[in-house]
Amino acid sequence: MKGQYRMKDMPVTAISFLTTEGNETGDWRSQRPLLDSEKCNRCGLCWMYCPDNAIRPEQDSFKILYTYCKGCGICAKECPRGAISMVTEERK
C-alpha cells in the first residue's frame, strides 16, 4: 500500500543512532504527544523529525519514550495523518 513502510524499509539516518543517555528531559514538559496507532501509516516522519530522539521504531509501529520527550510538538506537526496529538501532561 502506498505510504506505508515496514521498519526494515526505513532509511538509516544519523539521528537514529544517537544515544539518549543523560538527555532526560521529560520532567518539565507541559504537553506530551499521544500516538493513535489506528491513524498511523508508519511513514516515519515523527521519528525522523524528533529533535530528542524520543521516538523509536518497534517492529511495525513506533514508541514514544516520554523520559526523553520535551513536548515540543514537532512530531504532531509533521504527522501527515494527524496520528499524533498533543495532550496536557498529567503530573503525578
Q: What is the pLDDT of residues 12-62, one digit of tens each?
A: 554 444 455 566 776 778 999 999 999 999 999 999 999 988 999 988 889
Contact 35, 62 (CB under 8 A): yes
The full set of domains in the chain, from first to last, is: 23-88 (3.30.70.20)
Contact 58, 3 (CB under 8 A): no
Task: Write phi, then psi, for 70 (nearest 5 degrees).
Answer: -100, 0
pLDDT of residue 9: 64
Q: The pTM is what?
A: 0.73
pLDDT number for residue 60: 81
